[in-house]
Amino acid sequence: MASPKTKKPIGVLNANLRAFEPGAKLRAFAPGQVVFSAGEPGDGFYIVVSGRVQISAAIGPKESRVLATIGPGDFFGEMAVVDDALRSATATAEIYTKTLFVTRRRLLSLLERRPEMALSIIREFSARMRNLNQKYVEEIMQAERLAVIGRFATTIVHDFKAPLAVIGLATDLACSPGSRLSQRRELRTMVSRQTERMKTMLQELIDYTRSDDQQPKLRRLKFASYLNSFAQEATDELAHRGVKLVLETPPPSVPVRIEPQRLSRLLHNLLGNAADEMKDGGQITLRFKKVAGELHVEVQDTGQGIPPEIADSLFKPFATFGKPHGTGLGLTICRRIAEDHGGRIWATSVPGQGATFSFTLPLAR
């Protein structure tokens, strides 16, 4: 990692530093030689005449991090002198370096007689702290990015298990000696659908990390034709988990503008979450109604409902409850998809009596 470079002081600060030359001791350091170590008394500070000095601090038993690099015309080691404490960092010559060493007594004496010098040192110290704070923020952001990548990887593994299981079963059946041609064609279609589903999952994760200014690719469709096709596929999948899918009312044949694969991702997430909550089987009911230029879609299950302690964080990234392999990203993606379609999503529940997830789609004009 590249170390931050502090700016060389100029103008008034250089003039102030020249005031330290009388009585200062010239000290030279070979490359790699330690000027002072963390924990040592602050007996004075240094002005770099030539060369470079690295300021580093320990971040572990065997690891240190460079905080700043000090060049000619700059100074270091003043903090322990001013606050009369032990050194908080280690200074090491990066290359052959010459310095002027100013004792603590000399520094304090000059600061008392020349307030402008104290102000210059305070300004330089403030600039270094700003640089250090910025570096700290950047490292925290990098660590968070890596954590998010890890969570995304976990999400992919979790979400891929269901379609991979279907693909594995379909492959075994298609390759069995007694499989018929018609059966193999049906299984091929099943594998193709699951493959497309996994591609959609990956695309959703990619979309989630993209900026919000990208427009979804919506196209005008009759909702009934879309939903009937989806329901046929979902019914077969849920049946293997002991869950019955019921359309309480036929889907209305109204025009909507949707991106079919992404909307299917939303529904798969809702149905999958509902099925997860009904490990001993149950029923999922779909309802549809038109309300003031919108189509409302309800997904109701017969599970145990939403625990009150997570009701307010359902759609937040990585919020999860009771799933050993989940990260809670699924509902966040559902919200993103609903909003990208110009709609919204919410949930209602009575503990012990199931949950209902509802989302809206604007009707196409």
Query: Region 198-204: what's the mean pLDDT?
Result: 69
- Clarify whether residues 196 and 231 are in a common domain: no
Residue 129 included in any domain: no
Which pLDDT value is given to residue 241?
87
Supply the CATH number for residue 246's domain: 3.30.565.10
Task: List, in sequence order, every residue forming a beta bridge with 46; answer none if it has no partner.
Answer: 76, 101
Residue 3 included in any domain: no
Threshold 0.85, pTM exceeds: no
Cβ neighbours of residue 192 closer than 8 Å, sequence gap 6 or more: none
* Res. 325: pLDDT tops 50: no
- Clarify whether residues 261 and 332 are in a common domain: yes
* Res. 358: pLDDT tops 90: yes
Domain end, chosen from 189, 209, 229, is at 209
* Res. 109: pLDDT tops 60: yes
Which pLDDT value is given to residue 15?
60
- Clarify whether residues 279 and 201 are in a common domain: no
- Clarify whether residues 202 and 252 are in a common domain: no
Query: Region 4-9: what's the mean pLDDT?
Result: 42
Cβ neighbours of residue 88 closer than 8 Å, sequence gap 6 or more: 38, 57, 79, 80
* Res. 208: pLDDT tops 90: no
Domain range for 223 is 219-362
Which pLDDT value is given to residue 2?
40
Which pLDDT value is given to residue 273?
87
For 285-302, what is each residue's pLDDT tens digit?
Answer: 999 999 989 999 999 999
Supply the CATH number for residue 109's domain: 2.60.120.10
Q: Select the more confidently predicted residue: 16 or 36.
A: 36
Residue 126 included in any domain: no
Residue 136 included in any domain: no
- Clarify whether residues 89 and 189 are in a common domain: no
* Rama region for 318: left / alpha / beta (φ>0; ψ in -120 to 50; rest): left
- Clarify whether residues 243 and 327 are in a common domain: yes
In the chain, the percentage of residues whose pLDDT exceeds 90 is 32
Query: Region 93-97: what's the mean pLDDT?
Result: 95
For 238-250, what is each residue's pLDDT tens digit?
Answer: 998 899 999 999 9
Which pLDDT value is given to residue 125?
66
Which pLDDT value is given to residue 1?
39
Query: How would you classify the pairing of strands 255-258 and 219-222?
Result: antiparallel
* Res. 64: pLDDT tops 60: yes
If one counts the domains in the chain, the total is: 3
Residue 82 included in any domain: yes
- pLDDT-wise least confident of 132-141, 156-165, 353-362: 132-141
- Clarify whether residues 62 and 21 are in a common domain: yes
Return mean pLDDT, the chain.
81
d(CA 275, CA 333): 18
Query: Region 78-101: what's the mean pLDDT?
Result: 88
- Clarify whether residues 197 and 233 are in a common domain: no
- pLDDT-wise least confident of 36-40, 120-124, 202-206, 341-345: 202-206
- Clarify whether residues 56 and 155 are in a common domain: no
For 137-169, what is each residue's pLDDT tens digit?
Answer: 666 666 666 666 666 666 667 677 778 888 888
Residue 351 included in any domain: yes
What sign results for the dihedral spanned by CA atoms 308, 313, 314, 319? negative
- Clarify whether residues 358 and 226 are in a common domain: yes
- Clarify whether residues 153 and 267 are in a common domain: no
For 7-34, what is each residue's pLDDT tens digit?
Answer: 443 333 456 667 777 888 999 999 999 9
Residue 297 included in any domain: yes
